[in-house]
Structure 1
Amino acid sequence: RELLARLTDLDLSNDAFSYLDAKRAQVAGIPSLLLRIGFVGELGYELHFPSPYGEYLWDTVLERGADLGARPFGLEPQRILRLEKLHIIVGQDTDSESNALEANMPWIVKFDKEDFVGKRSLEHVRDRGFREQLVGFEMASDAVPAEGGQVVIDGRPAGRVTSARWSGQTGRAIGMAWVPPELAEEGAELAIRLDGRLERAFVRLRPFFDPEGVRLRS
């Protein structure tokens, strides 16, 4: 917020520009659409603007934020940070058979709406009961399971790991996995196959970092 305030006259206070809001303003003289969202669990903004200004705005942000310690970071840190928040990557943590209810995102579905694309299908999922659910997990050991690794029950594959990384924030290997509904309970024990052996893990239903989302909304 402090850095962006150096580049725009827009009121960036929490009251004027709250989480999940969108505004149009000049940023370093460039007409931009600003979105207050955050994939990595921190107070942040997305800037959308004409692509020819990309290099100029990139350089300007780094220059004006140098004394604040602003610097670029790559895709791997982003993947770890989003995993600590249990933010999914569509196409990695989900596939063509996934739905918002079983993917642990019921808040995004508004059944009180008269109609929306997919409403009947989601009503069917709700009424028939879940066949699998997407959950977070943390490993009992330091082992990091392979993405696509098997969740095993009684020696048989019963689920799959979609994402897994070592988290410096938690000091543990964490991840997300699709599991049978009976295992989608806080603290439920999982067995994950790794290099021919079974490693213990425990289900976590809340984000590992800032579970209340205070930093996102600060």
Structure 2
Amino acid sequence: MSETVKDGREITGQPVLVLDFDTLACEETTASKFNKSGCEIRSGKLTEVGQLVGIRLADMEQMIKGRVEKVEDGSVYVSFKVEDKSKVEKRREPRKSVSIPAWVSGHKSDDGVRCDIVDASKSGCRLSSTGLEALPENIKLQIAGLDMPVKGEIVWRNSSFAGVKLTWQFANGGDITETRIKPPDLAGKAGVKDKPKSNSSGFGVKRRKEAD
């Protein structure tokens, strides 16, 4: 059942940013049929049932964690009911080879180095760059395509690579109500621009040139 705003209009095409936790790839698309259990996303990239994703609305500081339940003709049905995995399961998470530009810096500073994420999993990644040895243990990672920094902890490093444990911050999908979801004609008030600039994520946050 689709959500409605107070004047009775049905909500369709809500702008969202979707993050695939397996590959750290981002996609700007639209979502609809929000309720406390989940939503429907338009996507040609999400194809695997059981895939874990993060959904960010333009007016929210955190992402909602979800799991793909069904894929059908470009529509992806996502459930917000995701069980936490044990530490043992996290250690066994398969890592996927990727090539994603990013900017890594100290937790309380924007001064850092450009790097490439060369493999990723749901809870961590490996960075490739020079200058990683000079970074503090607690870092923040600005990933190309994602308009919010991700906190992390460097668990090992050498002169060329660093292993990072990522600390994701999630909002509760059950807290999505008609007062948090805006119809398309009000989306601009949430920070979404009709014609974003080339260096903009589309969510009102400029990307670093180093990470483009």
**TM-score relative to the length of structure 2:** 0.23
Query: Would you tell me which structure has more strand in proportion to its own residues?
Result: 2
Which has the greater radius of gyration?
Answer: 1
Q: Which has the higher helix share?
A: 1
